[in-house]
A and B are shown apart, each in its own frame.
Chain A
Amino acid sequence: MTNLITTLLMHSSPDVATSGKAELTPKNFWLPQGASTFAEQNDWVFNVINYINYFFFFLVVGLMFYFVWKYRQKGREVYARGPSHNTVLELGWTIIPTLLVVVIFFIGFRGFVSMKTVPANAYQIDVTAQRYGWLFKYPNGATSDDLYVPAGKPVKLVMRSEDVLHSLYIRDFRVKQDVVPGRYTTLWFQADHPTAGEEFHHLFCTEFCGVGHSNMNRKVYVLPEADFDSWVVEQGRWLDKIPEAELYSKAGPKLFARCAGCHTLDGKPGTGPSWGNYDGSGNVWERTSTASSAHKVDGKSVSDLIGQGKQYETPEGYIRASILNPNEHIVDGFGPAMPTFKGQLTDKAIDALIGMMKHLDEFDAKGNFVGKK
């Protein structure tokens, strides 16, 4: 039954993601200006409920004052003969509100469903909340403290917290979601109107997180898609500013943080082989691993793939290959778990990693640069 209703509602509800430019909803007595595709829908619901509320409020209070004035006590004659009950009336004002709230619920439910249904083509930004600040990470590895989003494109925030509960609230977008340590939460929105110049939307933390709670606000800038793309690339260029000479020592550790989840430096294998075991050759390393040919990649074992003793011409070539299409050759004893970093790592970044692998002795087990021993 409910499913039926919800399905109907879903079909009748506008597809927020792809509907054309949503207009800015105007600032009114209650609500601030709305700048996302949700604002339209949301403000409409809010206003509708408000009108219903006005009606009932004035009905109740009006009647109250009228009766108080009309039936005020006259003299000391106290006994008043009013009806003590009227079943029809009472059933009436039990049932009518019930129907009303059912309708209200479904209106709100519709809005909620579209807020919870992330479009497939949403642009993902990873958010890390931490007392008392936000860190926004873009797919190309660029990071920023304020949030920049492309206009007219659904944006999905994947959020996690480093310490306590936070809550990301962009009031003009009418979106809010707690950020819970130990779990990923997401929210999405689509802002169609770029913010001009110094304009921005407020981003608040709305879950109490300590002394700096009220300072945990940032700005949200909506850029036209083209500008955004160039901005995010520019933001991602931190690497280029590092001179070749100290490339691996400066950039290496920062990049390695992304690898550290699977690769260690001290010889203990994780999901992937440990860099510590890399013999610096072009050999697919750890060939002697006991679990020989254990792992099949679409039916072929590793040795089938490259054959005994086959080598890359250069170690660099090998490393580069295993970063860009990692599952082409898999080290014995490991599974095809590594995602490709094609398009995420620039050549310079890969050079930095290669440099790091060549000078492992200058890094500690955590990947911090310690210099020549």
Chain B
Amino acid sequence: MASHAHSSHDHGHGEPHPLVGHLVPYSTLFATGAALIVLTIITVAARYVDLGEANIYLAIGIAVVKATLVSLFFMHLRWDRPFNLMVLVGSMLFVVLMMVFCMMDVGQNMPTENKGNPAKVQQYLDANAPFAPVTAKK
């Protein structure tokens, strides 16, 4: 699995050494840099207009765009072996996996933490036992 991506790519990649890396034109590099700076300014500016919840999503969105720019152009991923891209994206997938599972559990558990009102906690525990409605019918 891992191999296929890069080794198949390997084929078209027949230049004699040492032309392993890809030469990125200065124009591209500076354009990327400029774009990153501009995005930074935008995201800072956006902080001062109150969009409520939207603020954070906007900020994250911009961050993702910036990250993509850096990895594609500064880190040559656009021209590099797909396998290296797979390594990066794959590792991020595992982070997402960890986050999803942990968040699910935390979300389920929060009401049982006794910083809350134990009476409420009790109601929750009685109501939210798995599939309570079904048993409630009996």
Contacts and interface: CB of A to CB of B under 8 A. Distances in A.
Please tell me whether chains A and B touch each other in their complex, using a CB distance cut-off of 8 A: yes
Interface of A: 6-7, 10-11, 15, 17-18, 112-113, 116-120, 158, 160, 182-186, 339
Interface of B is mostly: helix
B119 A116 contact: no
Contact of A183 (B112, B134, B136): B112
Nearest to A10: B134
Contact of B129 (A7, A116, A339): A116
B3 interface: no
Interface of A is mostly: mixed
Given A7-B131, A18-B138, 6 more contacts: A7-B134, A10-B134, A112-B130, A116-B130, A117-B129, A158-B122
A184 B118 contact: yes
B138 A120 contact: no
A11 B113 contact: no
Contacts of A182: 113-115
Contacts of A11: 134
A229 B111 CA distance: 32
B135 interface: yes
Contacts of B99: none
A133 to B, nearest CB: 20
Interface residues of B, number: 19
A184 B126 CA distance: 12
B109 interface: yes
Given A183-B109, A184-B121, A117 B135 contact: yes
11 contacts: A10-B134, A116-B130, A117-B129, A117-B132, A119-B135, A160-B114, A183-B109, A183-B113, A184-B113, A184-B125, A339-B119
Contacts of B115: 182
A10 B131 contact: yes
A113 B130 contact: yes
Given A118-B125, A118-B129, A184-B125, A15 B135 contact: yes
Nearest to A16: B135
A158 B112 CA distance: 11
A117 B112 contact: no
A10 B136 CA distance: 11
B125 A15 contact: no
Contacts of A113: 130-131
Interface string B54-65: 000000000000
